[in-house]
């Protein structure tokens, strides 16, 4: 009579012990202690500050942490994610609203573990899963740069996360799945320049954050590294053998593109890539050359292909037997009236010069979003700077017209199969 009762008691004790152990594990995953505020920031030598400035440009830090150009690094910029809107934070040395009270240890912890000085977990919209592989010297240089910027008072804006992602401690479980703190290792088979570019691309510039697909939990799909991803609803093309580029890239073209946003026979930088180029233009030229060497090492794996990009000249009228003839005729008319006057000229030293659309990578992407956004918003150079310019047509094109133009350009410009669910993609991309 007593044995079953003892067994039940033992079972309850085992269950309670399991709950205690699991609670302890969950607590260790989700909670971090606050670090004491520093009384006085350390002093820094000018060489360290200058190295930090270069790293900040290579990492495009201002791109996310600056909402108002007159208040650099003061944060407040909204970033849309599948889990809600995250606002970037103030990383100026203001003591109350920025990182002025952060010690070097607190800054390092944020970069390597994604933990704020007060102990709360940072959302991985801040790419600490890349920064974790930075050398300590580089983290220290970056800290020196930020701690010597003008202090700006800018309280953090509230995030708008969907349930249950507003509960920050859950990020701890994301870290278990996706935060790999193994140090970066060079590839002995590659040159010193390639390895420098590989380190910068992975640990500092976090190229894979945009150019690698993500899982449903928002982590990188490491089985598809550099297979193409997205950034701010733009398609970020693959940087490996799956590259959709209609023409092969050379190292020289990549270096020019990363510094200026333009390269012969390739489309100009648009969308989020314009911010990347703007910052790389201010970075060390040797580091940008190393990034180009690393990128070319991956893109050179793409097989040679025959595409309409090998030919210049106007795009043709749709075939008389095209099964979508009315839609293609509408697309052609829009192309002829709005696009051809610039793009048929080709890149010549004239005011109307533009890339022949057979060479535009957005037509070859497996996803039409970049083309839709380019047609809608155009391409503008940074404020106050000269550069290639294209007007946007969102105000004058209906969804039907935008879809017809995209369908025509895809078929008769790139010679590629139709994008699936194009009309739905157009409506979604153009939604307010």
How far from chain centre, in Å, is Cα 115?
Answer: 21
pLDDT of 6 reads 63
**What is the rounded CA–CA span in Å between residue 427 and residue 432?**
10
Q: How far is CA 370 from CA 149, 236, 273, 381, in A?
A: 35, 8, 11, 17
pLDDT of 363 reads 97
Q: What is the mean pLDDT of the chain?
A: 92
DSSP state of 365: S
Checking if the pLDDT of 10 tops 70, the result is no
Q: What dihedral angle (degrees, nearest 10) is formed by the CA atoms of 349, 350, 354, 358?
A: -70
Residue labelled with tokens 């000269």: 386
Q: What is the DSSP string of 133-191?
A: TS-HHHHHHHHHHHTTSPP---PPPPPEEPTTTT-GGGHHHHHHHH---PPP---TTS-
pLDDT of 33 reads 93
Q: Is 309-430 CATH 3.90.180.10?
A: no
Checking if the pLDDT of 7 tops 80, the result is no
Q: Could you report the per-residue pLDDT of 418-429, keeping only the tens digit for each? A: 999 999 999 999
210 annotated binding-site participant = yes
Q: Could you report the per-residue pLDDT of 264-289, keeping only the tens digit for each? A: 999 999 999 999 999 999 999 999 99
- Could you tell me which of 315, 343, 326 has the C-alpha nearest to residue 403? 326
339 annotated binding-site participant = yes
Same fold, 192-300 and 309-430: yes
- Could you tell me which of 231, 85, 209, 93 has the C-alpha nearest to residue 150? 93
Q: Could you report the per-residue pLDDT of 51-69, keeping only the tens digit for each? A: 999 999 999 999 999 999 9
Tokens of 361: 């990578």
Helix (H) or strand (E) holding 229: strand 229-231
Q: What dihedral angle (degrees, nearest 10) is formed by the CA atoms of 391, 393, 396, 399?
A: 180
Q: Which CATH number fits domain 192-300: 3.40.50, 1.10.760, 1.10.3470, 1.20.1070?
A: 1.10.760
Domain ranges of the chain: 46-178, 192-300, 309-430
Q: What is the DSSP string of 54-109?
A: HHHHHTTHHHHHBSSTTSTT-B--EEEETTEEEE----SS-TTTSSTT--HHHHHH
- Could you tell me which of 277, 235, 240 has the C-alpha nearest to residue 361? 235
207 annotated binding-site participant = yes
Residue 308 pLDDT class (50, 70, 90 cuts): confident
Checking if the pLDDT of 242 tops 80, the result is yes
């Amino acid at each position: 009579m007593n044995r079953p009762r003892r067994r039940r008691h033992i079972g309850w004790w085992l269950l309670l012990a399991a709950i205690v152990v699991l609670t302890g594990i969950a607590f260790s995953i989700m909670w971090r202690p606050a670090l004491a505020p520093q009384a006085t920031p350390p002093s820094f030598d000018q060489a360290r500050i200058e190295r930090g400035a270069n790293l900040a440009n290579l990492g495009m830090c201002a791109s996310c942490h600056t909402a108002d150009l007159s208040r650099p690094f003061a944060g407040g910029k909204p970033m849309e994610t599948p889990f809600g809107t995250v606002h970037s934070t103030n990383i100026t040395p203001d003591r109350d609203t920025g990182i002025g009270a952060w010690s070097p240890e607190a800054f390092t912890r944020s970069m390597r573990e994604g933990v704020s000085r007060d102990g709360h977990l940072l959302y991985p919209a801040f790419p600490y899963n890349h920064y974790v592989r930075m050398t300590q010297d580089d983290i220290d240089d970056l800290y020196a740069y930020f701690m010597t910027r003008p202090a700006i008072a800018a309280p953090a804006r509230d995030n708008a996360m969907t349930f249950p992602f507003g509960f920050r401690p859950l990020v701890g479980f994301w870290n278990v799945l996706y935060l790999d703190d193994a140090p970066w290792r060079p590839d002995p088979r590659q040159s010193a320049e390639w390895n420098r570019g590989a380190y910068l691309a992975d640990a500092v510039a976090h190229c894979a954050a945009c150019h690698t697909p993500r899982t449903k939990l928002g982590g990188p799909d490491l089985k598809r590294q550099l297979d193409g991803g997205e950034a701010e609803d733009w398609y970020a093309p693959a940087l490996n053998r799956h590259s959709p580029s209609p023409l092969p890239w050379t190292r020289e073209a990549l270096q020019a593109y990363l510094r200026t946003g333009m390269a012969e026979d390739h489309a100009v930088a648009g969308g989020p890539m314009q911010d990347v180029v703007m910052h790389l233009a201010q970075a060390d030229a040797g580091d940008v050359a190393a990034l180009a060497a690393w990128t070319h090492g991956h893109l050179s794996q793409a097989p040679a292909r025959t595409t309409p990009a090998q030919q210049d000249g106007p795009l043709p009228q749709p075939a008389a037997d095209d099964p979508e003839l009315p839609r293609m005729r509408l697309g052609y008319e829009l192309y002829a009236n709005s696009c051809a006057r610039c793009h048929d000229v080709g890149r010549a030293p004239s005011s109307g010069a533009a890339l022949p659309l057979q060479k535009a990578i957005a037509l070859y992407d497996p996803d039409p979003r970049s083309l839709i956004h380019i047609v809608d918003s155009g391409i503008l150079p940074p404020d106050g700077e000269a550069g290639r310019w294209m007007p946007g047509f969102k105000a004058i094109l209906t969804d039907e017209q935008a879809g017809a133009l995209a369908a025509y350009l895809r078929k008769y410009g790139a010679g590629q199969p139709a994008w699936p669910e194009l009309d739905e993609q157009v409506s979604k991309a153009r939604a307010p």
